[in-house]
Amino acid sequence: FVAGSHNQINQPYATVAGGQLNTVSAIWGSIAGGKNNWVNGNGAAILGGRYNNASGAQSTIVGGGGNSLVDGNDATGELSSVLGGHDNIASAMYSVIGGGLENVASGTYSAVSGGRRGATNGTASSVSGGVGNSATGDYASILGGGQIVEIEKPPATFINGNIASGLASAVVGGASNEASGERSVITAGYNGVASGRSAAIHGGGSSFAGFTNTAAGELSVVVGGSGTETSKTHAVVVGNSENVWVNKDSVGAPVH
């Protein structure tokens, strides 16, 4: 079935219900409307938008798109979905992108809900908004935050996105943070590194490179402060600063 203007189907059981310059080249593929959309995956569907490409089997694109073939949305993974936005790619099986700009969901069962330049490489990983965030560990998650800031007047400050690379790790807000330890957590702050297993950093840090909180010990915790590093198991550091290396079980804020 073909309707609309200058649409075409190249396989049996395909449908184009409306729009213009749309093409379905897969069995059971369908396009409801929009312009310059392509369906190449069997059973795939595009509901609208422009310059979108659904090439994964039973993949879906709801809308959005770009101004040319190179910047539209792509659902290339089997049963993958892109709900909207611009220049997004859902390449893994069961991957989902809700919207936003230049996001990539390449991990199986992974999801990017929005934001810009978010990436989910780990299985069942997720990025919920923000800019430049990357969830590379399996079951890792990032909840917002992350940005790139350039200040013309010196000193210039460059703040990047967050990275959750540890198994089941999480980063909640902030920027330039990395949770690389298994089940590690960072909540806000800047330049934090939680590399120990089940390590946690809660806030603190600095917007200038080099002022970093690091929780490297297993089950270690850093709360606030800046430039603090602890590598001891079960260590707790609260509010230290000025590049303190902590190997004690617990350290409180200094008294001045």
Residue 129 lies in a domain: no
| 179, amino acid identity | A
The reply to whether 93 falls in a domain is: yes
Would you say residue 81 lies in a domain? Answer: yes
CA 45 – CA 3 distance, rounded (Å): 16
Q: Which residue range is the domain that position 164 belongs to?
A: 135-256
The answer to whether residues 200 and 213 touch, using CB atoms and an 8 Å cutoff, is no
pLDDT of residue 61: 98
Would you say residue 218 lies in a domain? yes
Same domain, yes or no: 170 and 244? yes
Whether 136 and 125 have beta carbons less than 8 Å apart is answered as yes
Contacts of 207 (CB under 8 A, 6+ apart): 157, 159, 175, 190
196 within domain boundaries: yes
Q: What is the pLDDT of residue 109?
A: 98
pLDDT, residue 194, reads 85
Q: Output the furthest CA–CA distance in the chain (Å, rounded).
A: 79
pLDDT digits (tens, 9 = 90+) for 135-177: 999 999 998 776 644 444 444 434 568 899 999 998 987 888 8
Q: 185: which strand partners?
A: 170, 200
- Which residue type occupies 49? G
Name the pTM for this structure: 0.83
Residue 68, pLDDT score = 84
Q: Are residues 147 and 100 in the same domain?
A: no
Quick: pLDDT tens for 6-64.
999 999 999 999 999 999 999 999 999 999 999 999 999 999 999 999 999 999 999 99
| Domain co-membership, 76 together with 145 | no
Average pLDDT over residues 63-88: 94
**Number of domains present in the structure of the chain:** 2
Residue-level pLDDT at 235:
62
Is 98 found in the same domain as 172?
no
| Rounded mean pLDDT, 77-88 | 97
In a domain, 96, yes or no: yes
154 and 98 share one domain? no
Tell me which amino acid residue 236 is: V
CA distance 96 to 76: 11
